[in-house]
Structure 1
């Protein structure tokens, strides 16, 4: 479980997050949604320690992460898997080397053990026999899956995904969503996904937090979302004709 309490973050004079509270439960896919500039990615980076909030606390299974020193954070960081928006693969490394990079940093595995683990992760995301390919030889969807394979290499307890469907076609986006959901259940991860993809929201949104202008305006399930009377949420969600049609079916 991850709990965040009263998170505030500014850049210079610009307030980006104001008083954000939430609980993300294990075995569930939790989504953070909101318009551009609402603070979604900044919140995610505050949770994993890439940004330091001016105020507030982050707990990983009741361990206060925000006040730990570098050494204290290492055991928790070993349990974090991260899928970045652009997959963040190293162009000069092969697929296998990209996955093994994390294992090199955090484990004492032998070379053969690392290779076996990389093969297992690639098989898990349906990318067998891609070990020697470079990122430039992969499609956008394949890059995302390699990013996921790297994220699960350490058997993560916590999985974070920043816009996992960005730049993907609808069919590939659904496959990525299904994969994230399957892995969350398989590993009993606490999974947090930043997205603006409403197909993802309706498909895998067990818990959803809506940010607007750096504040939490609403939280609940995707079904609850369709019946919300929060105007800012409705303006965001039902901008799409597809979502308007979904709401009509609930009536």
Structure 2
């Protein structure tokens, strides 16, 4: 479980986050949504320690991550998996080498154990026997799946995902959503996803927080989102649906 309490983040005179509190539970798809500039990615970076909150606390399973120094944070960071928006694969490494990269950095596993783990992760994301391919030889969806395989290679307790469906066609996006959902439930991972994809929200959104102008404007489930009277959320939801419908007509 991850708890964030009264998170503020300021860059110079620009206050991006304004007192956000939330709890993210294991085995759930916890989604952060909102328009451009609402603070979604900044909040994600504050939770994982890529940004330091100006004020507030981030708690990982009762451990105050915010008050820790770099060395104290290492054990928690080893339990974190991340899938970046562009997958962030190393172009000069094979699929297999990309997946084993965190294992090489953070574990004392033997070469065989690392290879076995890489093969297991590849099979889990339906990319069996793709070990020796390079990122340039993969489709966008395959790159995302390799990114997921690398993210789960360390058997994380926490999975952070930034816009996983960016640049993907709708059908591939559904495949990625279903894979993240399956892994989250199977391993009871606390998954936190930033997304603007309403298909993801309605498909796998167990717990959703909607940010507006740096504040938590709404919180609920994908079932509740369809019946909300929150005007700003409705504007965001229906604008997203309209945009997708318009694209499909082109």
TMscore range, shorter length: over 0.9
Q: Distance in 1 between matches of 2:13 and 2:129?
A: 50
Q: Distance in 1 between matches of 2:186 and 2:95?
A: 23
Q: Per the alignment, in what secondary structure is the counterpart of residue 239 of structure 2?
A: coil
Deviation at 1:95, TM superposition (A): 0.5
TM-score by length of 1: 0.95
The residue number in structure 2 matching 1:174 is 174
Q: Distance in 1 between matches of 2:148 and 2:167?
A: 16
Deviation at 1:242, TM superposition (A): 6.5
Deviation at 1:61, TM superposition (A): 0.4
Q: Per the alignment, in what secondary structure is the counterpart of residue 74 of structure 1?
A: helix
TM-score by length of 2: 0.96
Alignment gaps of 5+ in structure 2: 246-250
After TM superposition, the structure 1 = structure 2 runs for residues 236-247 of structure 1, keeping only pairs within 5 Å, are 236-241=236-241
Deviation at 1:12, TM superposition (A): 1.4
Q: Per the alignment, in what secondary structure is the counterpart of residue 155 of structure 1?
A: coil
After TM superposition, the structure 1 = structure 2 runs for residues 25-104 of structure 1, keeping only pairs within 5 Å, are 25-104=25-104
Q: Distance in 1 between matches of 2:22 and 2:72?
A: 23
Deviation at 1:97, TM superposition (A): 0.5
The residue number in structure 2 matching 1:217 is 217
After TM superposition, the structure 1 = structure 2 runs for residues 118-197 of structure 1, keeping only pairs within 5 Å, are 118-197=118-197
Q: Distance in 2 between matches of 1:62 and 1:229?
A: 34
Alignment gaps of 5+ in structure 1: 246-251
- How many correspondences in the alignment? 245
Q: Distance in 2 between matches of 1:105 and 1:66?
A: 24
Deviation at 1:5, TM superposition (A): 0.3
Q: Is the 8 A contact 2:198 2:241 kept in 1?
A: no
Deviation at 1:60, TM superposition (A): 0.3
